[in-house]
Structure 1
């Protein structure tokens, strides 16, 4: 008998997942949970409100640091460049590998979460990341600093993935949307709030003290995870795992470790190449490329003529990013509510994707405003306004795509979130390497104009095929 190929295995697994998602995923109601004792205090959903809130606050703290700490040095690249004798543009690339590895770190975490439980995959990367930040703080050359920052990105991204399963374990389905929205704001403000705080501290002392404060914040966050964190995977009828056992994933889940790891690795590969998720993921990659480029390179422009911002002024500019991100989240949230009310009688999941068109206009207009303001040396308010518009578009697009993907594949919410997070971080990895030379060659106005065209055309080419193919499938299914 011919041995089945990997493609055959994936097809069989796809049919299994689609036919019985509740049996394969901890995020849908498990048949065993229906018979669980509603008074069983081992069930995280029966924990006291205080215990839930403390654990959720610890999750919020580590999630805020995931992105916020990765771009913490964005406002400190100039003093670092002077100390290490490198160009400012080269100094800014110290974050790039860390941003890239954030995406892959989240992908690696998913199988471990399902095999060993939530708590060990949360606490140990948190501890490792704290020491990576300490290593970056004590570094005396650019290469060593970059290695530690890259490892910080790899391990520090876990809270961005583990939050969904923890929320699904700990809260009732009616509470999921509200808690996910609260938790999700950490990804909106973290990348802009972190560099602002870092710059304020660095302006009063130096970049090394600023990273020392970041190390202390990671220490405080780690203490909170140790004090208030717990394993939230619930095994009905099974005695709770000891605290020491929970640290090492012993008895946290009811599944065999080896086969579980292999199964979830295959699931990750399967979902990466699902057409709707692949196309929308590529759209996210392209959408995030240029805004992340702004986040990692804006200081080199603000510190140069004609603006000549000092560290405090450049750090304060980051609040334009915060305002834009929060406004983008609000736009996406309101659209998702409106579109469901408008079309719920004849609902089609792909209606969610229509939420990208208005934000795409905002993103395009913002890139043009940002680039042309700098190109002609106009007032810094034009830079701030352009950045706000860019972030409104970027965040509203990711909100629309995430809402679509989670509704399209509700049985694999953690996998879907990890995949979208991978595309998001991959988008901003390379731009820091080629954008400065591109601008030097062609000028700010032309470069950001081309970026606006690339975003507009690419998002249309990624989203429209999904709308067309899924509409055809829907029509065939209805027939």
Structure 2
């Protein structure tokens, strides 16, 4: 039987082992602490708040600036000698290019970072709005408005990745709710303010004020905007602020392969089952509310309403209140569903927020259409519009929160895809809805729209909840 080693020998071996353990040097600890301080999730609350305020200032102008002229179309039609219906189409190409601009921004954001692709298009958009302000005919005005849509859409794409970068996953739904409500209320707040200004001056002064708002937003981004893209240990995180603003020492080098990679990734994710179906549902969610936004001024300018510019602008407070109600429901629902399901949680639970929303939208479309059909009091228009927008915002918040939680590493791609589906529908409806109403009447058109909303959302959201939810449960049990 072998003898055990002496106790002193054992102590020597343990002491030797302890001596071989590497103790981090002071420089290493300092470097790690500096690394953590650069992580946006560790920034001070005020730094985050001020950046988020800058984000909201640009986000509310994305759609709010694009629909700014919706209450000015009658004055512009008279000045340019064209029909009111044609004057209303000056926004349509800009809406289409919002979606295209968002898709183009994706590879650039991933190659150069969030800040430069957020700041410089906003700067360019300011001059596009100035060009529209100085235009003297429909064609020139429409060209500048189209470019406004192309460059001005970036805040609607970059917002989601900024939220992803700065906040912990548990805070994502709440911050998406705030940010989403900001830019979704914009299409109604913008025309209201524009109409009030126009009533006391003219449409050029109104667009001049919009130019100043874009300039102010650009200044806020320049002062409070920071690069939020962060990967631990990546050299580009040590950029100076000036380098970050100009995209120097890009985050993902070399640039051309990065752009090619993210373009390919974007195409792949567009056709992923959950994003394809929720994208289609988003398109339908936005189609009819945006249709109301760009055409309502032509309806209420006619008998029996005969609204002037101030009255037409004031009517838009109804969808603004609807948007705030949609925000309140989205805030409550996302908190409630997580608390009640956290033991068996999977992202598809977020999508249950659309059921109440589509019912509200359908009832709102019916109320709005029947009020126009039977020439009832304008309160019916306001109440119907309120319900449509409230349902639109609460459902969009649920879909966006689901998409980010489903693909947390693809926040930029997810944001652009949702934005693309949303703006594509907004672009198209302004062309076919007026002739559709002339052919079939208000009641038939808006009843059909209500039926389409319910049918499409049931056919798109239900399969995602069932199929992806089953996959999540099977993964959890393995």
| TM norm. shorter chain > 0.5 | yes
Is the contact made by 2:134 and 2:204 (CA closer than 8 Å) also made in structure 1? yes
- The residue that corresponds to 1:14 in the other structure is none
2:200 to 174, 199, 204: 204
1:144 maps onto 2:147 in alignment = no
For 2:80 and 2:242, how far apart are their aligned partners in 1? Answer: 44
Question: Which of these two proteins has the greater Rg computed from alpha carbons?
Answer: 2
Give, in whole Å, the separation in 2 of the partners of 1:100 and 1:197: 23
Cα displacement (A) at 1:199: 0.4
TM-score of the superposed pair, with normalisation by structure 1 = 0.88
Cα distance in structure 1, aligned partners of 2:180 and 2:80 = 37
Q: Could you tell me whether the CA contact under 8 Å between 1:231 and 1:252 is conserved in 2?
A: no
Paired residues of 1:188 and 1:326 also in contact (CA < 8 A): no
Q: Is the 8 A contact 2:165 2:228 kept in 1?
A: yes
**Distance change (3 Å), C-alpha of 1:359 and 1:175:** closer
Deviation at 1:114, TM superposition (A): 1.1
1:135 aligns with 2:131: yes
From 69, 86, 107, the equivalent of 1:90 is: 86
User: How many Å separate the matches in 2 of 1:168 and 1:404?
Assistant: 13
Q: Alpha carbons of 1:237 and 1:383: their partners in 2 closer, same or farther (altered >3 Å)? A: closer
- TM-aligned CA deviation for residue 197 of structure 1: 0.4
Displacement after TM superposition at 1:83 (Å): 0.9
| 1-structure distance, mates of 2:463, 2:56 | 36
Indicate the residue corresponding to 1:8 in structure 2.
none
Matches within 5 A, 1:146-185: 146-171=142-167, 176-185=172-181
Aligned to 2:218: 222
- Larger displacement relative to structure 2 (175-184 or 267-276): 175-184
Other-structure match for 2:366:
368
Question: Hey, what's the Cα distance between the residues in 2 that align with 1:438 and 1:220?
Answer: 40
Q: Superposition pairs for residues 330-345 of structure 1, below 5 Å?
A: 330-345=328-343
Q: CA deviation at 1:45?
A: 4.5
- Write out per-residue CA displacement over residues 245-269 of structure 1, whole angstroms, 9 at most, x where no aligned residue: 3333111425321221111111111
Provide the C-alpha distance between the structure 1 equivalents of 2:418 and 2:38, rounded to a whole number of angstroms: 32
Q: Deviations over 1:97-119 (max 9, x none)?
A: 11111112111112111101122
Q: In the alignment, which residue of structure 2 is the partner of 1:56?
A: 52
TM alignment of 1:53-452, pairs within 5 A: 53-171=49-167, 176-234=172-230, 236=233, 238=235, 240-452=238-450
Question: Which of the residues 460, 466, 469 maps onto 1:468?
Answer: 466
Query: How big is the shift at 1:281?
Result: 0.7
> CA separation of 1:39/1:404 partners in 2, compared to 1, >3 Å: closer, same or farther?
closer
Distance in 1 of aligned mates of 2:199 and 2:268:
48
Structure 2 distance, partners of 1:348, 1:289, is 29
Q: Secondary structure of the residue that 1:305 maps to in structure 2? A: coil
Tell me, in whole angstroms, the C-alpha distance in 2 between the residues paired with 1:363 and 1:373: 15
- When normalised by structure 2's length, the TM-score is 0.88
- The Cα of 1:44 is off from its aligned counterpart by 4.1
- Structure 1, unmatched stretches of 5+, are 1-31
5+ long unaligned stretches in structure 2: 1-27
Q: Is the 8 A contact 2:158 2:415 kept in 1?
A: no
